[in-house]
Structure 1
Amino acid sequence: MKTEQSMQNSKKSAQFILLAGLSALCQIASAQVSAMPDMGKLTATGGVSQVEGAGGGGLTPWALITGYGSRDSYGGNAHYTQINTQDYTLKTYGVAVGIMDTVEFSLAKQEFSGSLAPLDSLKLKQDILGVKVRVAGEAVYDQTGWLPQIAVGALIKRDDAVGGLGALGVTSVKQLGAKSENGVDYYVSATKLYLAQSLLLNATVRLSKANQMGLLGFGGDKNDKYEPLLEASAAYLINRKLVLGAEYRMKPRNLGVDNEKDNYDVFLAYFPTKNLSVTAAYVNLGDITIFNPTKQRGWYLSLQTGF
């Protein structure tokens, strides 16, 4: 009963954020929006594509709305991201659109694979629908005010069947201890860019039951409750086209077969134009499974093109 009630509450919360996004979209539709994207925002202030598809850093979403459209326009992008560690590869690709610097929608696909026995045939896939709504503040243009830009968002996730473990009789994340194959992450992000110091700071609080971002399902034998998880980013603008930063992301510990650890990275993002960005990073994903206790460290490379 508690699990069913929790699922119902989760669906209601996701529906609420989706309705908030659609409501904002309706208000935008009734306003006068430029027929062509105006690319009115400063370079790099649309962020890059987060590994789950939302606009922000690589590991964590920011309150910034993706794309370069101003309050009178819209913007969008497509991205491809790959993370390679010693034993695993994660690929993410998708699209996102930001409208009137107020609401953002994103679609992303994640593909995870192993290269070390006994998980060398492992294949995991996940679809992610994201919505983000700006609710208060101004990150860039209000340099005298203290209030950061604040946005609320949801990432609605659905797993495909587990691939490559059929010989072991494993075809679903539930057989690995997860309580569900589908789930929703909720988050609140606060972002502020201090132009005089060339410094961007972001803090995100995420409510989640996702195991390894949801690739291993949601909830587990150790825990099946939403818990608040802190995420943080700091980025220094070396110049108008080059950004150096670091990120930290707390992770839940729900599964007995997955001693999940917090993630962090150090990244360098290059914006040669507003239509293109390239992000490279050193990333630490911690432990992935008890069957391979090696801490997973490696490189992260993301290419984003848009307007």
Structure 2
Amino acid sequence: MQRIVFYLFLNLTLLSSALAGGRLPATGGVTQIEGAGGGGLVPWALISGYGTRDEVGGSAFYTRVNTPGFSLTSVGAAVGVFDRVELSFAHQSFDLGDTVPNTHIGQNILGLKVKLYGDAVFDQDRLCPQIAAGVMVKRNHDYDFVPTLLGAMHGNDVEPYLAATKVWLNGPFGRSLLLNGTLRYTRANQFGILGFGGDRGDTRKLRAEASAGLFLTDSVIVGVEYRQKNDNLSVFKEDNAADAYVAWVPNKHFSVALAHAELGNIANKKRQRGPYLSLKADY
């Protein structure tokens, strides 16, 4: 089933290539690890792809994060419809390393994002940001093994969020500046990879996320991100996540992002940090 959904999204992005391309470079963001348009860790209010209000755009992505104890691979695709609605799909595979040898945890994520108000780029005479509401539907395929043993209460969940993004074309030093803030209503453990809820808490809580990016040139962006997370499992402490990134967007069809990710404690491994690589093709 996951392959059918992935190929459906991929075919839609390929079919949209003849229709999209009117927006400014980098205004679809890179792709967030859960499939939404945004930064690596945080969804933005921007809609994936380069389609304008009269176009359909899309993207496909591959992301890899490595830490000393674990690795995460995420692949997926997104479709942006009339710069108003975004549909996304991501499949994550989490390698448990020597914690549980030869074991992976798989998670599928379906996403929907709707732009509610404003335009992050073209409303330069207004302080109000672009605002979008989204939801991620997550299904952990291996909940009955490791997540259950750790005390997780659920293998599936729904995460609503609200994002606000603003771009200043004439920001510091005459360069463009992007700021984003996101509120997510969640009870996920490690993004849902270790299930949802636990013995320390089984209710959703509002968690804050933020991104900042500065365009050093028209095609090179540097920035930082921060993501607040839950701490639902008493067996292992869960820390907040952050990254520092550089993204290269040479044209409207390809981008690459490199980052150093700080993920803190994951399961029985402390101080999990390491490189993050994300490749994206836009249409």
Q: TM-score, normalised by structure 1?
A: 0.84
Secondary structure of the structure 1 residue equivalent to 2:149: helix
1:40 aligns with 2:22: yes
Residue of structure 2 aligned with 1:176, choices 143, 146, 150: 150
CA distance in 2, matches of 1:35, 1:192: 26
Deviation of 1:306 after TM superposition, in Å, equals 1.7
The superposition leaves residues 25-83 of structure 1 with CA deviations (integer Å, 9 ceiling, x where unpaired) of: xxxxxxxxx99423011000110110000000000000000000011101001100000
Tell me the residue number matched to 1:67: 49
Secondary structure of the structure 2 residue equivalent to 1:60: coil
Structure 2 residue runs of 5 or longer lacking an equivalent are 1-15
The superposition leaves residues 174-219 of structure 1 with CA deviations (integer Å, 9 ceiling, x where unpaired) of: 2321111001111000000000011000000000011000011110
Structure 1 residue runs of 5 or longer lacking an equivalent are 1-33, 163-169
1:138 aligns with 2:116: no
Secondary structure of the structure 1 residue equivalent to 2:266: coil
Residue of structure 2 aligned with 1:263, choices 220, 235, 241: 241
Deviation of 1:123 after TM superposition, in Å, equals 1.3
Tell me the residue number matched to 1:166: none
Residue of structure 2 aligned with 1:283, choices 261, 267, 270: 261
Q: Which deviates more, 63-72 or 36-45?
A: 36-45
| Matched residue type, 2:20 | D
CA distance in 2, matches of 1:59, 1:271: 18
Q: Answer whether contact 1:36 1:73 (CA < 8 A) is retained.
A: no
Q: How does 1:1-307 map to 2 (within 5 A)?
A: 36-116=18-98, 118-161=99-142, 171=145, 173-197=147-171, 198-289=176-267, 291-292=268-269, 294-307=270-283
Deviation of 1:122 after TM superposition, in Å, equals 3.2
Whose strand fraction is larger, Structure 1's or Structure 2's?
A: 2
Q: Answer whether contact 1:130 1:156 (CA < 8 A) is retained.
A: yes
The superposition leaves residues 262-297 of structure 1 with CA deviations (integer Å, 9 ceiling, x where unpaired) of: 0000000001110000000000111001x33x2101
| Matched residue type, 2:116 | V
Deviation of 1:245 after TM superposition, in Å, equals 0.6
Secondary structure of the structure 1 residue equivalent to 2:112: strand
Q: Answer whether contact 2:17 2:57 (CA < 8 A) is retained.
A: no
CA distance in 2, matches of 1:35, 1:86: 39
CA distance in 2, matches of 1:212, 1:172: 13
CA distance in 2, matches of 1:213, 1:69: 29
Q: Answer whether contact 2:17 2:58 (CA < 8 A) is retained.
A: no
Q: Answer whether contact 2:56 2:80 (CA < 8 A) is retained.
A: yes
Deviation of 1:256 after TM superposition, in Å, equals 1.5
The superposition leaves residues 101-148 of structure 1 with CA deviations (integer Å, 9 ceiling, x where unpaired) of: 0000000000000223x4333311100000000001110001001110
Deviation of 1:172 after TM superposition, in Å, equals 5.4
Secondary structure of the structure 2 residue equivalent to 1:185: strand
| Matched residue type, 2:275 | W
Number of positions where the alignment pairs a residue of Structure 1 with one of Structure 2? 264
Secondary structure of the structure 1 residue equivalent to 2:108: strand
Secondary structure of the structure 1 residue equivalent to 2:182: strand
Secondary structure of the structure 2 residue equivalent to 1:258: coil
Max radius of gyration: which structure?
1
Secondary structure of the structure 2 residue equivalent to 1:196: coil
Which stretches of structure 1, 4 residues or longer, exceed 6 Å deviation after superposition? Answer: none
